[in-house]
Structure 1
Amino acid sequence: MDSDDLAYQRSNVNFAVWLQRLLRNSPEALAVQLAARHCPGRPVTASRLANGAFNVCFRVNFENGDQAIVRFTAFGRIIARNEKTEDEVATMEFVGQHTTIPVPKVFGYGKSVPGPYIVMSYVEGHILSGYLKDPTHEGGNTLRPNISLQALCKAYHAMADVMLELSKVEFPFIGAIGKHESGNWTVSKGPLTLNMNRIAQFSNVPHKVFQRQRFSNAADYFEELANHHLHHLEYQRNDAVVDALDCQKKYIARCLFRKVSREISSEHCNGPFRLYCDDLNPGNVLIDPSKITVAGVIDWEFSYAAPAEFTYAAPWWLLLERPESWEDDLNEFMERYLPRFHTFLDVLRDCETEKIKSGSLTESQRLSITMEQSLDNGLFWICLASRHSAMFDEIYWNIVDPKFFGPLTSIEDRMVLLSTEERANMDTFVEKKLVQKQQATLDVHNSAKELFDL
């Protein structure tokens, strides 16, 4: 489902106004001041780095030659900025302590006039996606078509190493990780996910509708993710439906996906749950360009203890393109994806074998077996449909619906599968969405100050 154009414009305006105010008020001096507050040594200069998707960063140089990053969480790009910052700081500390993944050291974090910030160590390296992407392609990342197999395997090996390290960490609950005042690591609240942020930002879904408690089993969590899709359709006023039939199909798809969501996790429903980052991809991995080895992994927002199925499903980023950029014809996408997937599986198996020989992985911790099955049994698509609202309808009707309900002969065949309450509410729901389509307005769920303080 496309984003709400009015919500998209408002998000861009909020970010532009915030950025202008930041840049007008000596942000380099502020970055030096914050670095001095949290870091040893004497900072002397700061310079702005290229914008990321969710943050604005400054590199601070110290008198002794050290460097640090001061990163401000961008207003207009992140809905719950304070929560996002606190979760990310906790994740980086945990990953640094409990895995071999190199991550920036957090010197400190807090709130400043522009909003929440993090001061962390600077990691030298080249972005892995830059090594992989097609430089002639405009408008986003796509894999270089003529990349050599040797180069691709080296890059995939770097990513496989990170994924295997993350997969070894286990938790008894689903949610954001944090350190208790006792010093023990725990899961005390629900996760802040990439899709929650996306539909709040671009579809005007109010942040308050998301359940924020931790989850003790995957069935409850998958049902909550299915509810996110219903919230998306309900609260997005513009660009949500084409006509009454389109609205009916989208309503039915979301109701039926909620119906099957509790069946997605069977073997691993009660855990243990694995550390997972919604946005982990080659764009977040820094490499030593001479050896194509991992120098650091950055940008840990939207990381949480998640259902094991997310870890076991094939990665979406093998072609670099984000799911919302894939062609609507999923068969065409698979023609491009499958050759790279088989290459990645070979690399993953080799990486697993290396780790097993070194004693850092056990046979039972291999991911390649379940990951290979995830395309055949549909887990890859179901996990994508759960986590990505933008591609939900294409994935549901092409993959999920026939898997659970058989061939589709008519939309009436699916209406009878709805609950009595869902059928009773459908006509009113459709009428409401068509009225919204005509009104072309945007609801205001929070004031600008409330949004700024989230």
Structure 2
Amino acid sequence: MDDARSKYAHRGIFKAISSHLVSDQHDRGPFKLVCDDMRFGNMLVNNAKDLKIVAVLDWEWAYTAPYQMLYSPPRWLLIKKPIHWDVEDLPHISYLSQYKSQFQIFVKILEEVESQREQDMGTTLTGEKMSSLMRKSMNDGKFWFHELVYSCFESADNPAWSAIREIIPNLDELLGISENELDAFIDDKMEQLRLYNVEWAALKKEIDREAAEFEALMNKMEKEDANEI
């Protein structure tokens, strides 16, 4: 019951913060190709010394998405994506602090690359630079909002919620769902669970019966084969 209540409540909070964390500027385009499984394991490099990326694999979950998701900081800076940060198993590791530290290194290198590109081109890049957009995404919570989108958003133990709470301290106050609505939802889900358990119990009984009949048939056939020998 507590799990259902928490997930439904966070669904309401997610809906409430969407208007704050969806960019009006990029909400209707341009849309960009996004590889949802971008990580070290899907990158091929030329050699162990240069580490130049020559190919990216596994585009099965690629899709077009609003530009603000493209300039979201990489999810793989700690190798593990945020949804896989297991705080209970490794409570001594501050994944969030480590990620922020790695991000500063990443974005600094990105700024150097952007600057070098401008020098090579002999001109200033038009529009806001990717590094600047990434910093904003990290600071205003869009990065963590995207993480909720990637991981189906409702789980209260998603590390993204902790990060967003640092940015929006009164997050729980944004819940636009009454206690009566929550109670009605819980009652409905518990009734669905009860009906499921009844249906599954009947189905399992039938499965067990058929399995027993099959085992008896196999034993009979084995005995008949043994007698023939």
TM-score (norm 2): 0.69
Q: Could you tell me which residue of structure 1 aligns to residue 98 of structure 2?
A: 336
Measure, in 2, the Cα distance between the counterparts of 1:344 and 1:440. Answer: 53
Summarize the alignment of residues 196-211 of structure 1 with structure 2, pairs less than 5 Å apart: none
Aligned length: 194
Describe the shift of the 1:247–1:407 C-alpha distance in structure 2 as closer, same or farther (beyond 3 A): same
Describe the shift of the 1:436–1:309 C-alpha distance in structure 2 as closer, same or farther (beyond 3 A): farther
Whether the 8 Å CA contact 2:36–2:62 is kept in 1: the answer is yes
Say yes or no: does 1:406 pair with 2:170.
yes
Measure, in 2, the Cα distance between the counterparts of 1:437 and 1:383. Answer: 33
Residue 295 of structure 1, aligned match among 54, 60, 64: 54
Whether the 8 Å CA contact 2:45–2:52 is kept in 1: the answer is yes
Q: Which is bigger in relative contact order (C-alpha 8 A, separation at least 6)?
A: 2
Q: Could you tell me which residue of structure 1 aligns to residue 28 of structure 2?
A: 270
Q: Could you tell me which residue of structure 2 aligns to residue 385 of structure 1?
A: 148
Identity of aligned residues (%): 24
Whether the 8 Å CA contact 2:138–2:144 is kept in 1: the answer is yes
Give, as a single letter, the amino acid of the residue that structure 2 aligns with 1:387.
Y
Q: Could you tell me which residue of structure 2 aligns to residue 367 of structure 1?
A: 130
Whether the 8 Å CA contact 2:13–2:171 is kept in 1: the answer is no
Q: Which runs of 5+ in 1 are unaligned?
A: 1-243, 442-454
- Larger helix percent: 2
Q: Could you tell me which residue of structure 2 aligns to residue 250 of structure 1?
A: 7
Aligned-partner SS, 1:374: helix
Give, as a single letter, the amino acid of the residue that structure 1 aligns with 2:138.
L
Question: 1:312 deviation in Å?
Answer: 1.9
Give, as a single letter, the amino acid of the residue that structure 2 aligns with 1:358.
D
Measure, in 2, the Cα distance between the counterparts of 1:302 and 1:283. Answer: 15
Aligned-partner SS, 1:279: coil
Give, as a single letter, the amino acid of the residue that structure 2 aligns with 1:428.
D
Computed over aligned residues only, the root mean square deviation of the Cα atoms, in angstroms, reads 3.5
Question: 1:247 deviation in Å?
Answer: 1.5
Q: Could you tell me which residue of structure 2 aligns to residue 309 of structure 1?
A: 68
Give, as a single letter, the amino acid of the residue that structure 1 aligns with 2:98.
R
- Larger strand percent: 1
- Computing the radius of gyration over CA atoms, which structure comes out larger, 1 or 2? 2
Residue 113 of structure 2, aligned match among 348, 351, 366: 351
Measure, in 2, the Cα distance between the counterparts of 1:333 and 1:420. Answer: 34
Describe the shift of the 1:433–1:368 C-alpha distance in structure 2 as closer, same or farther (beyond 3 A): farther
Describe the shift of the 1:380–1:321 C-alpha distance in structure 2 as closer, same or farther (beyond 3 A): same
